[in-house]
Structure 1
């Protein structure tokens, strides 16, 4: 094997490991404009900003970021809020996670991926 091909192989393997670690296809850097959110998500965002009242008892609980899909922060930094999903009787998969520095993240697949909300 030639030296340059060894280097290329190492680079490709390293990139593949990094993508697997951070979750390929669910980039935490993808964003969404607040105006592009579903109506229910815009309503939830407005409730968060005004401090409630929230329709679900679990709204406002600590989001622990166990999957490490959001930037690392101390426990208690993130709070989660339900985004109503039409046609669902339960809370459904959609949430907004709010950070203490007034940053907001939207997930429509129950924490498998997040998009930072741009305002």
Structure 2
């Protein structure tokens, strides 16, 4: 008789632990709603929905001309230190231009989902962030430098393979 009472208690404990571990968010700690830059919440797009900067109303959306999209001032949503676009290495500025143009990219890993497993960047749904290689002269592989772009248009630079990030103040 006692074994029947243990199972519901065990299930309740597991549910509570799951909520504590994952913070009440979706599977594997991924948020089920997106927090907008204005502080509001928008629903996660369903399967097959268009995502990415173009679908999210990116500030880099083209103006209908063939000119390269120009960056607009971004608010730093992260509280992380900032780096001016003009202070990035030349390879970083070239990578930013490629991101704005939608490619083509030199590495097959570019424009792939960045998992934010380090949890340094603001927490967002899986797939919100994409990563891009910033080539390092003299390196025989991709090196440690990356730009990570969010669907909201914000971009971050790391030169130590995700140990630290700086918000990129574009256009400055």
Residue 96 of structure 2: SS of its match in structure 1? helix
What is the aligned partner in structure 2 of residue 73 from structure 1?
Answer: 124
Larger radius of gyration: 2
Residue 88 of structure 1: SS of its match in structure 2? coil
What does 1:10-49 align with in structure 2 at a 5 Å threshold?
Answer: 29-49=80-100
Q: Against the structure 1 CA distance between its residues 117 and 54, is the aligned structure 2 distance closer, same or farther, given a 3 Å change threshold?
A: same
Report 1 or 2 for greater relative contact order, CA contacts < 8 Å, sequence distance ≥ 6: 1
Distance 2:80 2:120 in 1: 10
Residue segments in structure 2 that go unaligned for 5+ positions in a row? 1-77
Is contact 1:62–1:80 with CA below 8 Å preserved after alignment?
A: yes
Distance 1:113 1:105 in 2: 10
Is contact 1:34–1:117 with CA below 8 Å preserved after alignment?
A: yes
Residue segments in structure 1 that go unaligned for 5+ positions in a row? 1-26
Is contact 1:28–1:69 with CA below 8 Å preserved after alignment?
A: no
Residue 35 of structure 1: SS of its match in structure 2? helix
Higher helix proportion, which one?
Answer: 1
Q: Against the structure 1 CA distance between its residues 49 and 82, is the aligned structure 2 distance closer, same or farther, given a 3 Å change threshold?
A: same
**What's the offset of the Cα at 1:28?**
5.6
TM-score of the pair, normalised by structure 1: 0.76
Q: What value does the CA root-mean-square deviation take over the aligned residues?
A: 1.1
Residue 141 of structure 2: SS of its match in structure 1? coil
